[in-house]
Each structure stands twice: as structure tokens, then as C-alpha cells.
Structure 1
Amino acid sequence: MQNSLENNSQAVHLWDYDVILEKIGYGKTQWILLIISGLLTITSVAAQQSMSIIVIASQCEFKSTQAEKGLIMASCVAGLFFSTYIWGYISDYVGRRKVLLCGVFASNILQFVLMFVTNIWMFNLINLLVGISIGGVSAALYAYLSEFNTPKHRAVAINYSTMFVSVTAIYVPVTAWMVLSANWSISIGDFVFRPWRLIMLISLLPGLIGGLILLRFPESPKLLLSQNKINEAIQAVAWICQFNRGKPIQDLLNCDDFMLKSEVNSEENSMDNIPSCILSKIARATVPLFHKPHGFYFIISNLAVFGMFFSSNGMQFWFPEIVNRSSEAFNDSSTVCEILSEYDTKAENSTLACSDHISSKTYIDNIIVGVAFLIGFSIQGTLINPLGRKNVLLVALIIATFSGFCLHFFGNRTAVLVLFCLYILLPGLSISIMLGAIVDLVPTHLRGKAVSFCMSLGRLGIIAATNLMGLTLQPYCNITFAICTFVLFVCVILVYIIPIRRSA
């Protein structure tokens, strides 16, 4: 009897998850998951960026003021700010796949409802809920994607997934241009359905497609192992092998039975107690981020990321409005603020009906910014290793600060577009480098929380910038630009102080 038990125990092979994933090899699972990640990213980012077009196209229907436009642009981001960090903890408890599916389908339903809302405050409320839903996608996506890849491929997969943010910066103005170029309306009683409402449908479609494909995929085996769900993890690994190689996992491993090693789950991340304790758990787990020896530099890094989001994304959200206002009156002698001032004066004195027309230049300039982001990501990747991360950061932020300063004086059409591209692009690209630097600053078990906390604070920067510009751009244009530029200058000083390793 004892010999029989020994033989059975020897027949069961124990495998490390990463080793068995390496043995299965890179295949359809990883490629399709990368596409899903891209589709979910497009919907997540488009829900935010499309508001910069929608505020212009809907301004007559909503009778929105400049301050109210700032609130519309900030409402979705506010939802992300409040929810992403919490969603990250929930995904450790209920599963990454469940959070992703709930987040994307809930946001899809809410965006569809948003198409028919006629009250601006109800629009903002539902848009806030859209942001809260998208927070689940933002919190769980990269973890889910990385856990289906071997360590060798994880960084590359996340990098390509991140590049879909740049694709979205092109997708939003291109699709908006196609939709809003048609002049039509459908009346249903007192409700009038106009083309700008279709933009929200186009924004949700990639996520809907990605979510439907994701239904076929299993939960992350790595997460299942951390929850000690060994049998479910084995089934998930078997699914990956069958999908990639077209044969059972047992044939690949040349054994009838196998087991997977459990993943170590730190106590501070454990959520075995009732979910109502989640807020206290999050608070306790966050406090170590501010302890010595990394606490001081972690705080400075967060302030730098806040400033980068504030200046880059804040200006990017208002860029369509700025270009649209200045497109008709633009000449080669007046600065941006002078043209905006002339526009405001004419608007105040005009007795004509409200206009929600968007010029072709608005779409073209925003497409150029999106293409610049794609090119910038490619160039940045080639510069980091030879120049070092800190040097690349400092040069990018100094050039962006100088570009913001020059916007006060330049009037040439091409020069202004180039300055805006540099002003928006360079701090935006710097964010990804800063996140990598923050990962190096803190211990391994705190890195996930550090990045989530930093991204949440960055979104707070977007909320602050969009509302500030909504209140001050019209009467105090030069002061508004000066504030954003000064924030970037402070970022230069903060980055200079932070000890950043030359390369990752």
C-alpha cells in the first residue's frame, strides 16, 4: 500500500506557472489578448478624450458655459480617479477577468444611455458613472495581460498595449470628423437625436467587441494560484495550451497528471475577510508607501506625475476647443491668446444664433497630435538606454516648458501647432518613464499600489486642469498658459531631485 502511494506521488509532476507557460510558448492566446487589451484601451481612453469634441458639438443644445464644458470633460476622469485604486483591490479578490467584464459592459451600457440624455447635469452624473466603470478596466487590464505572458514578454506586451493610447488619440478625431461632417437630425417627440451623440456609440464599440472576445478567456492562472485555487488554475493552463498548441497539456508535458506551484500572496494584499473591510485594508496597505527610505522620493515623484498630467492632458482636453475658436480668425501675427480674446469679444457682441460648427482644422490638428504621440513613443524607446531615463525626462520637460513659454509670443500657424504638439506630447511621454522610475523606488510588494496611487493622483491633475481652464481660459488666457508652464518648470526641478536609475 505504501509503495502504491509513493508511485502515485511520483507520477504527479509539480510545475512552476512561468516555466509551464514558457513551455507552451507564445501563441494565439497572447496575440488575441493583446488585441483585446488594445480594444479595451481604446474604449477606456476614447470615453475621456471624446468629451473634448462633444463639448463643442453639444454646446448649443446644452447651452453650456465654458466652466460647464470643463465639468463635462472632467466628469469621466473624476470617476476614474475615485474608483481605479479600489477596483485594483477588488480585482485581487474577485478576479481580474470578472472586473474587466463588469467594467467594460457596465461602461458600454452607461455610454449607450448617455446618448439620449438631454440635461447637462444628468449627463455629467452618468458620465461620472462611466468613469467609475472604466476604472475597473484601467485597474485590472495590465495585470491580466501580463499574467498570461512569460517574464520575457510581459514588458513588451504592456508597452504595445500602452501604444493603443496613441492610437486612440487618432481614432477619436478621425471618427468624430466622419460622424460630424454629416448634417442631419432625427426628431422623436421633443427629443432631437443629432450626429454628436453617435460619437459615444463609436467610442463604446471597441470595448464591446473586446469584452465579447474576452468571454472566451479564463481567469488569470497566476491569480488563481495566489488564491490557492489550484484545480481552476490547472484548467486555465490547459485551456491556454489547447488554444495555442491545439493539443492537451498532458501531451505537451509527457505526463498523465501534473500540479502547479502556489503563488505567494502577501498578507497585506489578502482579502479573505468580508469585502466591507476593503477601505480599511486599502488604507493600511497604502501607508507603507510613505515610509522611509523611499517615502520622500515617492511623494516628490507623485507631485511630478500630477504636474505632467495637469499640463499635458489638461491642455490636450482643451486643445480642440482652442483650435476651433482660433481656426477662422487665425493669422500669422496674433498669438493664440490674442485670437481667443478677439473670438470672445465677437461672441459677446454677436446677436447671431449659437454655432456648434467644428472646423476641419480642429480635426486635422488633433490627428497630427495623435500621430506625434505614436512617433514619439517609437523615438523615446531608442533614446532611453543610450541617454538614460533621467536625462530623457529632463530634456523632454525643459523643451515642453520652453514651448509653453513661446506660445505667449508666436503667431505663425505652423509654429504654434509644433509648439502645442511639443507642449502636449513631451510631458505625456514622460509619464510612462516616471512610472518606471517609481517602480524602482519602492520595494517589489508595494509596486502595484505605488503605480495605481500615482495614476490616481495624475487623474486628479487632469480634473484640476480641465476645471481651471474652464474657469480662467476666457478672461485670463495668458495667466492660464503661464500656470500650466510654471507647473512643468516645477516638474523639471522635482525630476532633477529624484534619484532615477539610468535604465530599467
Structure 2
Amino acid sequence: MADIDKQARRIKPLEALSNDDENNVNDKTYLLDRHDHEAEENYLDGIFTAKDGTLSIDDIVNSSVVGLFHIFVTISCGLCYSTATIILNAYSSFIVAACDLHITISNSSWVGSSLSIGMMIGSLVLGIVSDYIGRRKTILISVSCNIIIMIVSAFSYNYLMAALLAFLNGFCLGGVITSCHPYMVEFLPKQYRGLSVPCMTSFVIFGTIYCNVAGFLILPFRFYYPIGEIYFTSWRLHFIICTVPMLIGILSLLFLPNSLRFTLKRGNTIQVVQIFNQIDRINAFCYCKKKSWHRLKTNAFLSYCVAKNMDKIQISTTATTLRQTIATLTQWPWLKRLIVISVGWFGYCFIFKGLVQWWPVIISYYSKGHSCWHNSFNSSVIEHSLSSNYSVTTFCIGSSRLRFVLTNLIIGNLLAIPVAIACILLINRTGRKFQFCAFAIIMSLLVFLIWIIDNALSTTILVIIFIAVSNNVWLPLKLWTSELFLTKVRATVFGICNVIGNLGALLCIAIFPVLFQASCIAALTIPAAIWLVCSLLCIILPDTTESNID
């Protein structure tokens, strides 16, 4: 480290650096004051003394200073990531509020199916694109397209047009759900990943609450303003209002740099120095004490050391091709990890995205005095439940009923907040694998208790607890998935996992009515058993709490 410090005084800066960057990385008074010089050297000395003569990207990122910049990244990524849950909840309200489009029981699944199929295709395609062009560009393009499509959807001429636009919305969401977590995790030292990434993931709760509160304030008030061949109604205004967090997210992302790990992997010296300097400029706002100033300067000195030793870092100066990605994922242990974690995604989406859509039917069934095994089972309960709440010709419900439904949704998601806080605080102590498996056991137990206790009151309470718990499984699952794979294939893996997960959701949606008509017990226990087996299979994967990720 002493030799590097001497070189900072006498060696001509790298020609690749700009004039400002040359001054920054060579000016001793800019990087270190005399009082803190020795502390900085000791702090960074271990990075550049590798026995094999190479530099580890993990060591470089783990030595960077965390501050206000990383909080800003967490909020910005969280707002962009909330796009997914905002759109999903907006379409959920759309089904029962778009009275002017004449949505019937027979065609009510068109929008949901189009959205899911679009997400499956988009996740796979845009996951590969993200590993090629970078996470930030993919997020900006995807969220921008989602905003445009949501506004266009607000002026849908008929239900078929809305369903086709839902497919495009789902396709663009594929870029959001495959890129936000890789982008976030690639800025963070490993000791902060367990805190920041779940905080970003928990913005799905914010998105759900925002969308439902906006719906509660707008949707029950029916109004019709003619605009050409359509009537501008409350659900159309709701779609437009739902784009506000998305817009804030992409505007804030414009001020953030590309992924640090992704840029280091590409070996772009200029961008690496610029990223470290941008991190320092934003972090400077939260350092007001003299004793903290040497930690602020660490990134500036670190950027100089990385630039001078870029030839020692294991990098790939070209973009990852599809063939290289496939070659990497077919090697051991990445193939094993991909198969096992995909099974976990399948099981979770099977019970969460699939079963959650049928909870209202189950609650309605119990509220009418039926039960699974204490008295006779009515095989046509689904038809009775639907026809008792909705008209035979339309899925539209009245204002008072709509307000009641949205109120229950808001309460249910508010209860998920304390669970999310507990997950975030404990995830570094318990580990990703333990928390994921613990959630699986609790969710399966709740479903089995619904079957065992078998009455209306217990079912309502247990379903509320189930929703609060199941909403937070994303926190350990997505963080764990991010840390299990290399930077060059991370977004592609997210795309594959989302495809497998959505297949599980579509399968549960399709088979649940059949199972429920055949046996109420089977409809409850089979999804719970599948989820439990799939999640416990993930025990064979390593926990990544203390692991390097490159």
C-alpha cells in the first residue's frame, strides 16, 4: 500500500481518465488528509495484496463505503420495483370496476392470463437483455414503457384492447422484475445486502397499499365524461394515478450510475472512477463530522487503486452473449442451483399467486355455513359463490361493495408491514435459507389449520395471517436468488425463475376449480403440500449470507 501511495505522487495518471478524474485520483490532499492517511492505508491494504496477483471484485465492492447514495439507490429501485405490484393490483381492481367494458364471468380471466403470459415471455427475453446492455438501461426502458402503456390502457376502447395492452404491460414488467434486484445487490458490500435488498423488495407492500388507497378514493365514485367513442370513468383515472410512483422511480434513476459490479466486470476504467466519484458526491451530504471525513474519502482512493490495477482484475471486456450465458448455466454447480431454486419459485408462485386468487371463494364458501369435512360438501360452490356476489352478465360490483373489498385489502397489506420489518432485521442473523424455509412451513401449516379447524371465523383469521406472511416470502427468496449466481448471468436467472414461477401460478389457477369441485380437502392440502416439498428441497442449496457473489 505504501508503494501505491508513492506512485500516486510520481506516476503519470492513466491516459484513459478524464482531466477531472486525473486530478482527483492523484491529488494527495484531495484523497487523504495527513491525519487520516495511515487509517486509509490500513483499511485498503488487504485489497491489493492478493497472493495470486489478481484483484477480487468482491473485495473491491466489499471495501466501498456505504452511505446516503445506497439509501437513494434503495428508494429509487424500490419505486421502480413497485411498478409490478401496482400494475397487478390495478388490473385486479379493473376487473370489478370497469363497468363500461362489460366484463363477464366467462371473459374475466383474459386480462390476468394476458398479464401472466406477457410476464413469462418478458422475463426470459429482458433478463437476457439486462445481462447484455446493463441493468439500469433495462429498468429505465421497461418502466418508461409501462407508464406509456398504462396511460394508453386508460383509454381502452373495449375489453379486448385492454387485454392486449395487459400482455404488453406484462412483457415490460419482465424487465423490471429481472433487473431491479441484480442492480441493487451489485452496489452493496455483503454485510449490507441483507438489509438493503429486502428493504427494496418490501416496496411491493408500498405499491399495493398505494394502489388500493388510490382505488378506495377514486373507484367508488362513478362518473362518465364522453371523450370521442369512450367514456372517461373512475377506473381510467385510477390507471393514470397509478403511474405516479413509476414516474418518480425512473426520474430518480436517471441520476444514478450503472451497476458497479457490472461495470467492473466489463473493465471500463473511466466509468468505474466516475461511479466511485458519484457515490462520494452523494455520500458527502450525510458526513458532517470531521472524524467521519476519512471514510468518505475511501471510495476516491479506492477508485484510484482500482484504476491503476485494472489489469489485475478478472474482467470481460465484451458483452455476455446468449451462448456464453447458456454455457455458464449448464456448468456445475450453477445448473444444480438453477434447477433447485426454480423449483422453489414454482412452489411459492403455485400457492401464492395461484391460491390467493381463490381465497374469496373459500371464505364465501365457509360464510354460507359449509365446511370441508364437518358437513356435506357442495360441488357447485364456485358457481354459487360467484353468482351471489356478481351479476351473471357482468363482473362489475357496486360502489359500497367495492369500497368494502378495497378496505379489507388495505388492512391485510398493512398487517404485512410489521412482518416485513421483522424479516429485514433478522435476515442477516437467521440467513436467507432458514427464513425462506421457515416461511414455507408457516404458510403450509396455516393452510392445514384451515382444513383442520374448518369453520368460518378461523378461516377468515388464518387467511389474513397467510396473506401477511406470504407477501414477505419475496424478501429472502429474491435476495437468495441474487446471491447464488454470477453477475454475468444474474438477470437471466431471474428471468428463468419468473417463467417457472408464473407457470406454477397458471397451473394452480387452472386446477384449483377442478380440485375444489371434486374435494374441498384436496383443494387446500395439495397446494400446501407441493409448496412445502418444493421449499424444503431448497435446503440443499448453500446459504449466501456471508458469501461472495462473484
Letter in 1 for 2:216: W
- Which of 101, 114, 119 matches 1:80? 119
Deviation at 1:116, TM superposition (A): 0.6
Taking the aligned partners of 2:487 and 2:261, their CA distance within structure 1 comes to 17
1:376 aligns with 2:419: yes
Indicate the residue corresponding to 2:216 in structure 1: 177
Deviation at 1:456, TM superposition (A): 2.7
1:161 aligns with 2:200: yes
Deviation at 1:20, TM superposition (A): 7.3
- Which of 365, 369, 386 matches 1:333? 369
Taking the aligned partners of 1:10 and 1:183, their CA distance within structure 2 comes to 67
Matches within 5 A, 1:388-399: 388-389=434-435, 392-393=438-439, 395-399=441-445
Indicate the residue corresponding to 1:271 in structure 2: 319
Deviation at 1:428, TM superposition (A): 4.6
- Is the 1:37–1:210 contact (alpha carbons within 8 Å) kept by the matching residues of 2? yes
Taking the aligned partners of 1:491 and 1:24, their CA distance within structure 2 comes to 39
Q: 1:30 to 1:444 in 2, by over 3 A?
A: closer
- Which of 336, 349, 352 matches 1:312? 352
Indicate the residue corresponding to 1:367 in structure 2: 410
- Is the 1:377–1:429 contact (alpha carbons within 8 Å) kept by the matching residues of 2? yes
Aligned residue for 1:499, secondary structure, equals: helix
Q: 1:125 to 1:367 in 2, by over 3 A?
A: same
Which shows bigger deviation, 445-454 or 489-498?
445-454
Deviation at 1:366, TM superposition (A): 1.3
Indicate the residue corresponding to 1:252 in structure 2: 297
Indicate the residue corresponding to 1:131 in structure 2: 170
Structure 1, residues 252-304: CA drift from partner, whole Å, max 9, x if none? 3687993525453469xx636xxxx64x555444433xx5x675675354334
- Tell me the matched-pair count: 480
- Is the 1:70–1:467 contact (alpha carbons within 8 Å) kept by the matching residues of 2? no
RMSD value, Cα: 4.3
Deviation at 1:379, TM superposition (A): 4.1
Indicate the residue corresponding to 1:356 in structure 2: 397
Letter in 2 for 1:119: N
Deviation at 1:66, TM superposition (A): 3.0
Deviation at 1:190, TM superposition (A): 2.9
Taking the aligned partners of 2:92 and 2:415, their CA distance within structure 1 comes to 18
1:7 aligns with 2:7: no
Deviation at 1:10, TM superposition (A): 9.0
Aligned residue for 1:201, secondary structure, equals: helix
Indicate the residue corresponding to 2:22 in structure 1: none
Taking the aligned partners of 2:303 and 2:420, their CA distance within structure 1 comes to 45
1:192 aligns with 2:231: yes
The percentage of aligned residue pairs carrying the same residue is 19
- Which of 141, 146, 158 matches 1:119? 158
Deviation at 1:210, TM superposition (A): 1.1
Structure 1, residues 304-349: CA drift from partner, whole Å, max 9, x if none? 4212212212233455x649x95xx99573469977544445589x
Taking the aligned partners of 1:84 and 1:491, their CA distance within structure 2 comes to 22
Taking the aligned partners of 1:383 and 1:25, their CA distance within structure 2 comes to 23
Taking the aligned partners of 1:74 and 1:314, their CA distance within structure 2 comes to 12
- Is the 2:194–2:479 contact (alpha carbons within 8 Å) kept by the matching residues of 1? no
Indicate the residue corresponding to 1:34 in structure 2: 74
Structure 1, residues 337-391: CA drift from partner, whole Å, max 9, x if none? 977544445589x799874324333112212321232233334567775694476
Deviation at 1:130, TM superposition (A): 1.2
Taking the aligned partners of 1:340 and 1:364, their CA distance within structure 2 comes to 23
Indicate the residue corresponding to 2:144 in structure 1: 105
Q: 1:377 to 1:406 in 2, by over 3 A?
A: farther
- Which of 56, 61, 71 matches 2:100? 61
Q: 1:42 to 1:435 in 2, by over 3 A?
A: closer
Letter in 1 for 2:65: G
- Is the 2:105–2:394 contact (alpha carbons within 8 Å) kept by the matching residues of 1? no
TM-score normalised to structure 1 length: 0.79
Taking the aligned partners of 2:302 and 2:216, their CA distance within structure 1 comes to 58
Q: 1:39 to 1:370 in 2, by over 3 A?
A: same
- Which of 493, 496, 514 matches 1:453? 496
- Is the 1:39–1:207 contact (alpha carbons within 8 Å) kept by the matching residues of 2? yes
Aligned residue for 2:297, secondary structure, equals: helix
Indicate the residue corresponding to 2:339 in structure 1: 299
1:465 aligns with 2:508: yes
- Is the 1:331–1:411 contact (alpha carbons within 8 Å) kept by the matching residues of 2? yes
Deviation at 1:47, TM superposition (A): 0.7
Deviation at 1:114, TM superposition (A): 0.7
Aligned residue for 1:181, secondary structure, equals: coil
Aligned residue for 2:103, secondary structure, equals: coil
Taking the aligned partners of 2:539 and 2:389, their CA distance within structure 1 comes to 50
- Is the 1:71–1:466 contact (alpha carbons within 8 Å) kept by the matching residues of 2? no
Structure 1, residues 459-480: CA drift from partner, whole Å, max 9, x if none? 22223334556xx38x955758
Taking the aligned partners of 1:28 and 1:57, their CA distance within structure 2 comes to 41
Q: 1:23 to 1:242 in 2, by over 3 A?
A: farther
- Which of 488, 492, 498 matches 2:532? 492
- Is the 1:177–1:363 contact (alpha carbons within 8 Å) kept by the matching residues of 2? yes
Taking the aligned partners of 1:381 and 1:168, their CA distance within structure 2 comes to 18
Indicate the residue corresponding to 1:410 in structure 2: 455
1:52 aligns with 2:92: yes
Taking the aligned partners of 1:496 and 1:237, their CA distance within structure 2 comes to 41
Q: 1:105 to 1:361 in 2, by over 3 A?
A: same
Aligned residue for 1:192, secondary structure, equals: strand
- Is the 2:448–2:524 contact (alpha carbons within 8 Å) kept by the matching residues of 1? no
Q: 1:485 to 1:166 in 2, by over 3 A?
A: farther
Q: 1:56 to 1:91 in 2, by over 3 A?
A: same
Q: 1:392 to 1:184 in 2, by over 3 A?
A: same
Letter in 2 for 1:454: C
Aligned residue for 2:304, secondary structure, equals: strand
- Is the 1:166–1:374 contact (alpha carbons within 8 Å) kept by the matching residues of 2? yes
Taking the aligned partners of 1:190 and 1:400, their CA distance within structure 2 comes to 49
Indicate the residue corresponding to 1:211 in structure 2: 250
Taking the aligned partners of 1:370 and 1:257, their CA distance within structure 2 comes to 43
Letter in 2 for 1:258: Y
Aligned residue for 1:365, secondary structure, equals: helix
- Is the 2:61–2:261 contact (alpha carbons within 8 Å) kept by the matching residues of 1? no
Structure 1, residues 431-486: CA drift from partner, whole Å, max 9, x if none? 554556667877898766545422331122223334556xx38x955758834640
Deviation at 1:163, TM superposition (A): 1.0
Structure 1, residues 166-220: CA drift from partner, whole Å, max 9, x if none? 2223222222111112121211233111101222222221011111121122222
- Is the 2:177–2:494 contact (alpha carbons within 8 Å) kept by the matching residues of 1? no
Taking the aligned partners of 2:486 and 2:63, their CA distance within structure 1 comes to 30
